Each structure stands twice: as structure tokens, then as C-alpha cells.
Structure 1
Amino acid sequence: MAIQQKITPYLWFDGTAEEAAKFYVSIFPNSRIVAVSNYPEAGPGDPGSVMVVVFELEGQTFGAINGGTMFTLSEATSFLIDCTTQAEIDHYWSRLLEGGGTEQPCGWLKDRYGMSWQVNSQRLVEKVHTSGDTAAIARVMAAMMEMGKIDLGALERAYEG
């Protein structure tokens, strides 16, 4: 299977790559598992166990590898989900927290597999940072620092003053 994009993120898991890929595909529309390959008899993993899963989320290709315990996912890498409505934020926030995820400040969360996500509105972020209104930026940032899940209405009100 040839990957068509120039850069493809690969995520490292310890035996849960296929489970995680199926979880993510269940959350995002226009998503699918593309391919699953298994460790060969002579490989470093258990023969026949899942080695790599290639999947798409909203047309973006990802790879997931069961590489063992050597590395773990961390907040050093996160994926921003650009939401346009509060309903979208609510959907992604609740679904990604299912099964043991943890809330983080400012619209961030960590899912049960350890992947960090930013569930936010890029439109609002751009509006705030391109406005040139330093008082509005300060109000929005102060409001956001008090939030776990993003409340678009509250941020819009903070922006307006």
C-alpha cells in the first residue's frame, strides 16, 4: 500500500496500535483503517501479532506501530482538532476521553492511549491573535486558562469584553 502524502505521522504503541486506530476511526468522520501488517516469524515482535496499522482520519494518513515499551506518547506531540461549533468541541472532547482519558487545561486532553489532543477552534484563535487588540487577547487567554474543555461562547464574550 503506497502512502500518498509527503509526511506521515507514526505513533508508537505497546501492543495497542490496532485498538487505538479503531478507536480513532470510530470518532472521526471520513476515516478508515487502510492496512494492517503483522510481525513475521523472524521479526522482533510476537510472530503474527500486529506490527503496523495504517489509518486515515479525515483524509490524513497516520501509521501506528506496536514497538514495545521503549518509547511512550507524551504531550510533546499533540494533534489539534479544528472545531467550528460548540457541538463539535463537545463531541470530540467526550469521545476522546472515553475509557480513561484525562482532561488537561486550555482545551487539551490525553486519550486512554496517551495521545494528546487540542480540541479548539482555530478560527477563534486566529481571530484573537490577528486582531491586534492586546486587551482582547489578554481577556481571551485569561478565560481559556480557566477552562478544561473549550467554551466558545465564553471565549467570544471575553473577546468582546
Structure 2
Amino acid sequence: MLSQITPCLWFDGQADEAAKFYTSLFKDGKVTRTQYYGEAGKEIHGQEPGSVLTVEFELNGQNFVAMNGGPLFKFNEAISFQIECEDQEELNHYWQKLSDGGDPAKQQCGWLGDKYGVSWQVVPKVLGGMLSDPDTAKSQRAFTALMGMKKIDIAALKTAYEG
């Protein structure tokens, strides 16, 4: 029996907004269901009946849940979502859209923080092969180049890798 793992993202009132933002960035993004708080449990959760509880959405076949859980928890860099890009145009698209309004201090080696505090890694598909190349001179040149980048420049990475 196969099980599916669905990341649940905790927001403080922005679950619907965030889900719509993320689904607008991915060509196969879509909101699949929205659930609302009712009267039940109001004395515990404190949310207004009829306000958004969860938004289920999909990005390129991966299911997510955005939940309005309140101000108790915040995102940090310990968890991130990696987007593997085919080319520089695709990489630039995700980098620009996700970093707009985000935290510039979180931008390093393709890693960025978006305006909601969620961490993303926007990387080229070729990166893994470069960094794991058995020719350590090539892999180390690629790694050194990567360490000096915020948004990854695929051409510069390839130039470094090839020496």
C-alpha cells in the first residue's frame, strides 16, 4: 500500500492568499479544496466561523495543505521546497516571483525566503550531476562557483564546472 506525504504549511491568516499565490506561479498549480472554521472548537482555536481553516492545493503534482493556525509557529530555513528547473528562463521565473517581497538575507546558493517566510531552493536539474561528478576537480569547481551565487547562473556554473 502506497502512502502519500502532504506538507502542511502553517499560516497566520494568509493560507488562502498564499495558496493562490503559489498556484499562480506553477503552470500545473491548482487549488483543490477549501475548508472553513465552524462554531465547533471556537473556544480553543479562536477563529471566526466561516474563516478559512485549510486550503488544499497542488503544484506540479505535489499536494500541499495551507492552514490558518494562528501566530504560534513561524517558518524557518530548516525546511525548504526544491524546484528543479530545466533552464535559466524557468529558474529566473521562479526566483523572481518567489523572492519578490521575501527576505534577501535568506538568498544564497539558489535558496530564498518568500514573502510568507517559506524557504525555497530554485536550482537547475544539472546541479546534482555536477556536484556528484567523480572527477572531484570538476565537482569542486562547480561547488565553489555555487557558493558565490545567490540566484544560480547556469552558464557560469557550467563554465566553472568545465574549467
TM range (shorter): over 0.9
SS in 2 for 1:94: helix
**Conserved in 2, the CA contact under 8 Å of 1:81 and 1:119?**
yes
Partner-residue secondary structure (3-state), 1:20: helix
Distance 2:117 2:103 in 1: 9
Counterpart pick for 2:21 among 20, 23, 31: 23
CA distance in 2, matches of 1:64, 1:157: 40
Give me the whole-angstrom Cα distance separating, in 1, the residues matched to 2:102 and 2:12.
17
Distance 2:129 2:60 in 1: 24
**Offset at 1:5?**
6.0
- 1:58 to 2:60 alignment: yes
CA RMSD, 1 decimal: 1.4
Question: What does 1:73-88 align with in structure 2 at a 5 Å threshold?
Answer: 73-88=75-90
Match of 1:68 among 58, 67, 70: 70
Matches within 5 A, 1:91-102: 91-98=93-100, 100-102=101-103
Displacement of 1:69 in angstroms is 1.1
1:113 and 2:143 are equivalent in the alignment: no
The equivalent residue for 1:13 is 11
For the 8 Å contact 1:5–1:61, the answer to whether it is kept is: no
Q: 1:37 aligns with which of 35, 38, 56?
A: 35
In 1, the alpha carbon distance for the partners of 2:39 and 2:52 equals: 12
Residue in 1 that maps onto 2:148: 146
User: What stretches of structure 1 of length at least 5 have no aligned partner?
Assistant: none
Shift of 1:91: 0.4
Query: TM-score, length-normalised on structure 1?
Result: 0.92
Q: In structure 1, how many angstroms separate the alpha carbons of the residues matched to 2:148 and 2:133?
A: 22
**Structure 1 runs (4+) greater than 4 angstroms displaced:** none
Aligned residue for 2:108, secondary structure, equals coil
AA aligned to 1:130 is S
Deviation at 1:101, TM superposition (A): 1.1
In 1, Cα distance between equivalents of 2:88 and 2:114: 20
- The Cα shift of 1:42 comes to 2.5
